Structure 1
């Protein structure tokens, strides 16, 4: 199979028939062997009924219905597991991503040998204050932190080789950082393509300002996991050793100071009256706790079970 198109969605019943017709027109024009996988992420409108109707019309259409809303990352994870195409393309269901981009994205992966191509919506039709400015700040921080130099990490229109989607694990809210996950997994042929951004035709955006706050928090998480996810003791152990060393130095200072006072004949002072005593005690306790955190991290890493992060209510042709 040439292409798998994965489309996560939440309450997009109005746009689904038009999106399907558009994708089908592009696929038929280019004679691609394809599948379209719609992932209904707990919609409360008529989205699933629309997917069922479209699947009856076109056997290349498949569907996954979640029991409730689990988030875009979980939806992409489910789609990646089922994808069979040599090239996997993700896009949003709101018609803001253009299926006309598919042939060029396919060629960049299949013929030019890239592992991942990320869309760059250079010209946007979003609210400048509410979306564009926070997005620019977010993308700048992501570039500096991850070392992956893309202009638009959060663009839903991306293309991957099948090998990439089968070797990365998208979890939590990490869909924004799939290029970083790919890089950490060893896929380094990552590039971007300027894509057309269209104004939303139906409904309203499902994302608010909180996505940028969550995005920055996830950025810190993925930075930490990329550096210390496989060796937590290196991080916690180093901090623990530093804190313990400070405690030992403070304790040594207290001992030397007390011996000096005794040597010059001054009356002995209780150790607990010296503020350095509490500095030594606190830093040594914190150092011990950090060591324990590192040990626990190593144990969890070696004994964790891969539990399902979502429940599927229904499958369609998958």
Structure 2
């Protein structure tokens, strides 16, 4: 691979990657990332967030920490959503720029390209997955539809087909780390800042050796969660529906009055009344379902329960930034 800078940069780069049961491939991934960063930068760090692995992943990482520099791993006591683990890594990374990578599927080749793009003052860089752009499977069609819908209802400038391969400057990270819903909003959270971004296309790989299975139920649940947490649009839509229903009730009341004024022996209306009751109850239950979603989020956020707990933490035997600290001692002569 051609390295872009003839001399090593002073930029501190962090690469954040959640991992889970990665014993079969994590060594190759860490060597690839470390090789690229060590050639280009004086100081860097690889931040791994182990999402409660149950295989030999941590043992392998700890062995590599004796060989490779600047690897840090944070082991979570219990499993959390994969996308939430990225936020855990962002909270613990200290780089001037931070790159998030899905260690199982994102290639390492775009690393230098992304950092070169950041030198122009861009605060956020999104990798766009070619499979999400070009494939016409139902899953990818739903994904593209969701991003378009999300952009429409939130008015946020969010590119379609974004992935977990991203670069954030420290300014971008500071803009969203105080968001109380950050663990659920990683896919879209950078858009809230309004900072300038750029994109590039890339092809996903598969380091796991197993078939990647897409869960429609998980994708739908994630999409609903993002919409509910990002926008008041669902509530506003139901407010409009409720007002329309109230207006229809007023019109219907005038209709009943007129019927009673101009018609005798009124025994009709059972069908109309039944339809009207069904419609009203449908609207009420829809409103209750959306309100329940928001109330449940408030309930969870007010429990004061930590979203994650780091059970174990380890670092490479060599951290470049510590070696570069010069300490001078002198003795005062009397």
Normalised by the shorter chain, which TM-score bucket? 0.7 to 0.9
1:76 CA displacement:
0.9
Which residue of the partner structure matches residue 245 of structure 2?
A: 243
Query: Which of 184, 195, 201 is matched with 1:194 structurally?
Result: 201
- CA change 1:65–1:298 in 2 (3 A) is closer
Distance 2:287 2:67 in 1: 60
Residues 12 and 203 in structure 1, CA contact (< 8 A), matched pair in contact too: no
Distance 1:202 1:268 in 2: 73
Distance 1:134 1:32 in 2: 45
Residues 123 and 169 in structure 2, CA contact (< 8 A), matched pair in contact too: yes
Residues 15 and 46 in structure 2, CA contact (< 8 A), matched pair in contact too: yes
3-state SS in 2 of match to 1:97: coil
Query: Which of 85, 88, 100 is matched with 1:75 structurally?
Result: 85
Q: Mean alpha-carbon deviation: is it higher for 135-144 or for 45-54? A: 135-144
Distance 2:16 2:227 in 1: 27
Q: Which has the higher helix share?
A: 1
Distance 1:292 1:30 in 2: 55
Deviations 1:66-101 (A, max 9, x none): 22332212211211111111211111223x433232
The runs of 5 or more residues in structure 2 that have no matched partner are 1-10, 152-156, 317-334
TM-score of the two chains, using structure 2 as the length reference: 0.73
Q: Mean alpha-carbon deviation: is it higher for 37-46 or for 286-295? A: 286-295
Would you say 1:144 and 2:153 are equivalent positions?
Answer: no
Would you say 1:100 and 2:112 are equivalent positions?
Answer: no
Which residue of the partner structure matches residue 38 of structure 1?
A: 48
Which residue of the partner structure matches residue 307 of structure 2?
A: 309
The runs of 5 or more residues in structure 1 that have no matched partner are none
Which residue of the partner structure matches residue 330 of structure 2?
A: none
Which residue of the partner structure matches residue 183 of structure 2?
A: 171
Which residue of the partner structure matches residue 329 of structure 2?
A: none
Query: Which of 255, 258, 261 is matched with 1:256 structurally?
Result: 258
Would you say 1:117 and 2:125 are equivalent positions?
Answer: yes
Residues 248 and 280 in structure 1, CA contact (< 8 A), matched pair in contact too: no
- CA change 1:141–1:100 in 2 (3 A) is same
3-state SS in 2 of match to 1:44: coil
Would you say 1:228 and 2:225 are equivalent positions?
Answer: no
Which residue of the partner structure matches residue 5 of structure 2?
A: none
Which residue of the partner structure matches residue 218 of structure 2?
A: 214
Distance 1:84 1:293 in 2: 41
Deviations 1:30-57 (A, max 9, x none): 1242111111112111001122222343
Deviations 1:218-271 (A, max 9, x none): 334434443317xx753433222222222232233122211211xxxx22437x
3-state SS in 2 of match to 1:278: helix
Residues 6 and 90 in structure 1, CA contact (< 8 A), matched pair in contact too: yes
TM-score of the two chains, using structure 1 as the length reference: 0.77
Which residue of the partner structure matches residue 210 of structure 2?
A: 204
Alignment root-mean-square deviation, CA: 3.4
Which residue of the partner structure matches residue 269 of structure 1?
A: 267
